[in-house]
């Protein structure tokens, strides 16, 4: 018997997150998750008189393809995927993972080739469709979170079925503050960072693109970032785990980068010229997400956190012009249990130790 929460989630994704309308074409992209998820989404898309299309993906199969990836092969794969995406009005991806390091032994050159070839597909999906992306709770994810499978599933549905609409007044107030801010100063343990938001527009994320959600993001003026930052949340990128990443900036560029695996970190940041510049700055505040679990869709929304993103900016929205095949959200948590910290807009203290100070932002605490 299907868990009724799956149908509730499908309804939220179709009717709230992507707002599917009659006659639209919807691509459902599922990765290593139960058949019930795809079935529920198909039924919900049909219920609003739209047309569902489905891709079924498995990480082991993707790894095997990646190990022998060639330019000519991925020219065709990219062309076919882009052709499919151009027919779609909306995109819903549900991504499970039985092993977050499944791609760890794929050579870096192969990962770079694939990322470069598939970038046009990603760009079209992000810029030309209404889209939402979320994880699916697996036993592996429960282990990452240090929780039992049942407890993690309960957390997952509690977070994903959150009434994001109730957070919108606070998020809109934070957006206005970020839109008005010219200069940002972030201080914390191992962090003293300054950059400009002058002329950049912030965007509210309330369950319409990522689930779970709960952030407002913008992008720094590309050449304005100065100082250093230490990220206290562990991260995983291209199948490799990284801890204690520290970045030093000069005129917007990462001039020094260290971590538990500095060699691999710098290799990724050398993927192309844009990888050493920042494409996104975001403040996270989902009240249900408190601890990192090396899953960025959860970690970037941690209450009391912010993230700073080497690589690609979102084209057309919060766009500072930076272009890269890399987009790596790195997270720092500023609650007292993680060392605290402050965020200043134009020398005014906005958030201290993970808590917003202004009355109209209190709902985000």
Q: Are strands 215-218 and 235-237 parallel, antiparallel or unpaired?
A: unpaired
Sign of the alpha-carbon torsion through 217, 222, 227, 231: positive
Residue 171, CA atoms < 13 Å, CB-side half-sphere: 23
Mean pLDDT value of segment 244-250: 98
- The token duo for 283 is 């403040």
Is the pLDDT reported for residue 2 higher than 80? no
Spans of all domains in the chain: 4-160, 164-364
Which residues, including other chains, have CB under 8 Å from residue 144's CB and lie 6 or more apart? 100, 293, 294, 295
99 vs 179 pLDDT, higher one: 179
Q: Are 46 and 23 in contact (CB under 8 A)?
A: no
pLDDT tens sequence across 323-352: 999 999 999 999 999 999 999 999 999 999
The residues facing 284 across adjacent strands are 215, 305
pLDDT, one tens digit per residue, over 120-169 is 999 999 989 999 999 899 898 888 888 999 999 999 999 888 888 888 99
Residue 220 phi/psi, 5-degree rounding, is -70, 150
Q: What is the pLDDT of residue 7?
A: 95
Residue 296: the pLDDT is: 87
Asked if 133 contacts 90 with a C-beta cutoff of 8 angstroms, the reply is no
Q: CB-based burial of residue 337 (10 Å sphere; 0-12 exposed, 13-18 middle, 19+ buried)?
A: exposed
Q: Provide the CATH number for the domain formed by 4-160 in this structure.
A: 3.40.1830.10
Question: Quick check: helix, strand or coil at residue 242?
Answer: strand
Instruction: Please tell me the predicted confidence (pLDDT) of residue 1.
Output: 63
DSSP per-residue letters across 67-105: HT--HHHHHHHHHHHHHHHHT-SEEEEEE--S-TTTTTT
pLDDT of residue 295: 85
Q: Which tens digits make up the pLDDT trace of 47-106?
A: 999 999 999 999 999 999 999 999 999 999 999 999 999 999 999 999 998 888 898 899
DSSP 169-235: HHHHHHHHHHHH-SEEEEEETTEEEEEE-TTPPPEEESSSSEES--EEEE---TT--EEEEE--S-E
Mean pLDDT of the chain, nearest integer: 94
Identify the pLDDT of residue 97.
85
Report pTM.
0.77
């Amino acid at each position: 018997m299907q868990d009724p929460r799956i149908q509730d989630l499908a309804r939220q994704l179709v009717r709230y997150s992507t707002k599917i309308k009659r006659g639209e074409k919807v691509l459902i992209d599922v990765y290593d998750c139960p058949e019930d998820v795809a079935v529920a989404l198909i039924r919900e898309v049909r219920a609003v008189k739209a047309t569902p299309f489905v891709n079924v993906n498995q990480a082991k199969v993707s790894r095997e393809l990646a190990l022998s990836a060639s330019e000519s092969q991925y020219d065709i794969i990219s062309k076919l995927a882009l052709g499919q995406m151009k027919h779609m009005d909306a995109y819903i991806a549900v991504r499970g993972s039985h092993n977050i390091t499944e791609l760890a032994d794929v050579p870096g050159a192969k990962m770079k080739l694939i990322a470069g070839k598939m970038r046009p597909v990603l760009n079209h999906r992000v810029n030309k469709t209404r889209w939402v992306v979320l994880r699916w709770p697996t036993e592996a994810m429960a282990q990452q979170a240090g929780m039992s499978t049942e407890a993690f599933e309960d957390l997952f549905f509690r977070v994903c079925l959150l009434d994001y609409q109730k957070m919108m007044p606070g998020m809109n107030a934070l957006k206005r503050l970020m839109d008005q801010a010219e200069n940002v100063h972030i201080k914390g343990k191992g962090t003293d960072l300054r950059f400009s938001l002058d002329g950049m527009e912030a965007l509210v994320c309330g369950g319409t693109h990522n689930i779970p959600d709960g952030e407002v993001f913008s992008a720094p003026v590309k050449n304005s970032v100065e100082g250093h930052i230490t990220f206290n949340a562990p991260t995983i990128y291209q199948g490799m785990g990284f801890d204690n990443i520290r970045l030093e900036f000069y005129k917007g560029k990462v001039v020094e980068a260290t971590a538990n695996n500095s060699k691999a970190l710098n290799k990724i940041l050398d993927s192309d010229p844009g990888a050493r510049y920042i494409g996104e700055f975001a403040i996270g505040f989902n009240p249900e997400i408190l601890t990192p679990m090396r899953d960025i869709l959860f970690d970037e929304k941690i209450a009391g956190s912010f993230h700073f993103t080497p690589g690609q900016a979102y084209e057309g929205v919060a766009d500072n012009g930076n272009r890269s095949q890399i987009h790596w959200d790195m997270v720092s948590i500023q609650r007292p249990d993680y060392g605290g910290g402050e965020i200043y807009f134009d020398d005014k203290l906005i958030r201290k130790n993970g808590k917003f100070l202004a009355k109209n932002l209190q709902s985000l605490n």
